[in-house]
Structure 1
Amino acid sequence: MPRVVRRRSLVAALAAVAIVRSAPPGWAAPPDRIDPKGLILLMRHAEAPGVGDPPNFQLRDCATQRNLDANGREQARRTGDLLRRIAAGRPTAVHSSQWCRCLETARLLGAGPVQELPALNSFFERRQEQEAQIATLRRFLAGLPADGGPVVLVTHQVVVTALTGVFPASAEAVLLRADGTGTPAVEGRIQVKDAE
């Protein structure tokens, strides 16, 4: 193959990679083309190394919990950048689990004041509470207006999976659309890439 043709092929291949890499996985459309009306982002907290909670876990003492690392804080900020593009100036309601890693993720999104919502708390080590907690969360979702502004729910993997069947990565969000029911359909998923 002539050298010029190989170079053009390489340039075309690199351009294709750049296009694929520039679009977050899971988007059905670019962020600025997603309708923010009635949008619900059900988000797993950003990267917090470890699994579960330490034996001395106390809800109001962050020193006893798994917390975000530097990568997790950057994930949350970058997700917030995407969220602001989607919201396009519409007020965004932000709700969070009471765990420190979720509250910090929610605050770093920079999307608005954060309200604690116990229905988003982890039941990883309290599976007996799952059914009642998910029922409460479904009632909350059913009460969201279909024509309202975006709503962000920062929670834990177990909650996202119990509600949607999706096993999200850290900082991944499942996109739902408020429809007056407690079982809004999954429209897509977003996950920011790690900074390079």
Structure 2
Amino acid sequence: MPSNPWPDGCATGRCAACATPALPRRALLAGAAAGAGLALLPRQARAAIEAPEVAALLRQGGVVIAFRHALAPGTFDPPGFRLGDCSTQRNLSEEGRAQARRIGEWFRQQGLAPARVASSPWCRCLDTARLAFGQAPENWAALGSPRGYTETTGAAHLEVLRKSLTAASARPARFEVWVTHMFVLADLAGANAASGEGLVLRMGSQGNVETLARLAIPA
């Protein structure tokens, strides 16, 4: 297998410093997300779910609500991207920061407190979690955006996420919040999500990830 031909942060080779063509699956996801949004999903999965139904599922527990980070305009990260250095990354806009606060306000209005808040190490995810829930989230590498030519790391992280979702699904009366990226949600749940949108996930009896509902907080 060839070594990684792209600089860190170039998940698909679309940044200015990437000379290698993008992986077809990621290029398809990125293009479709930009042009069609939720049109990638089956009709029944696109159906609007009222917020009270989402709240009921979270109160019942045994689920994870996995958010795509709030609005961070742009595509991927710039050349020279480094984890731990927000100045090198694509970050939340002011609208995105306000969106993250509104996510937290919805939870407070519903009287809902997650048992765990975990985030991708990327600053836009960490900031979304912190602004929404008022605490430093657990920095969890498995939620990080896939990088590099091979799928090895992505596959290993996906297995960790699936095991964690299985464990969370077996714990009634509690729920977890995960903050991650579009590609991670696509790989885990087979679903796209808009910026700041949360998918209520549960591991099904057949080992399939079920998307039970969506919570969309506008930017």
What TM-score bracket applies, with the shorter chain setting the length? 0.7 to 0.9
Residue of structure 1 in register with 2:165 after alignment: 141
Shift of 1:27: 2.2
Residue by residue over 1:76-104, the C-alpha shift from the partner in whole angstroms, topping out at 9 and shown as x without a partner, is 11111222344x35453100000000000
Residue of structure 2 in register with 1:120 after alignment: 143
Residue of structure 2 in register with 1:163 after alignment: 188
Aligned residue type for 1:106: A
State percent identity of aligned pairs: 37
DSSP 3-state at the match of 2:133? coil
Structure 2 residues without counterparts, runs of 5 or longer: 1-46
Pair 1:39 & 2:63 matched = yes
Q: Indicate how the Cα distance of structure 1 residues 165 and 54 shifts in structure 2: closer, same or farther if over 3 A, else same.
A: same
Residue of structure 2 in register with 1:74 after alignment: 98
Pair 1:152 & 2:174 matched = no
Aligned residue type for 1:39: V
Larger radius of gyration, structure 1 or 2?
1
Residue of structure 2 in register with 1:103 after alignment: 126
TM normalised by structure 1 equals 0.76
Query: Do the aligned residues in 1 keep the contact of 2:69 with 2:124 (CA within 8 Å)?
Result: yes
Query: Do the aligned residues in 1 keep the contact of 2:100 with 2:129 (CA within 8 Å)?
Result: yes
Aligned residue type for 2:175: P
**How much is the aligned-residue C-alpha RMSD, in angstroms?**
2.4
Query: Do the aligned residues in 1 keep the contact of 2:118 with 2:138 (CA within 8 Å)?
Result: yes
* Structure-to-structure mapping, 1:163-182, within 5 angstroms: 163-177=188-202
* Structure-to-structure mapping, 1:175-190, within 5 angstroms: 175-177=200-202, 183-190=208-215
DSSP 3-state at the match of 1:82? helix
Residue of structure 2 in register with 1:131 after alignment: 155
Aligned residue type for 1:160: L
Q: Indicate how the Cα distance of structure 1 residues 85 and 176 shifts in structure 2: closer, same or farther if over 3 A, else same.
A: farther
Shift of 1:111: 5.8
Shift of 1:64: 0.2
Work out the CA distance in 2 between the residues paired with 1:182 and 1:137: 13
* Structure-to-structure mapping, 1:17-56, within 5 angstroms: 26-28=48-50, 30=52, 32-36=55-59, 37-56=61-80
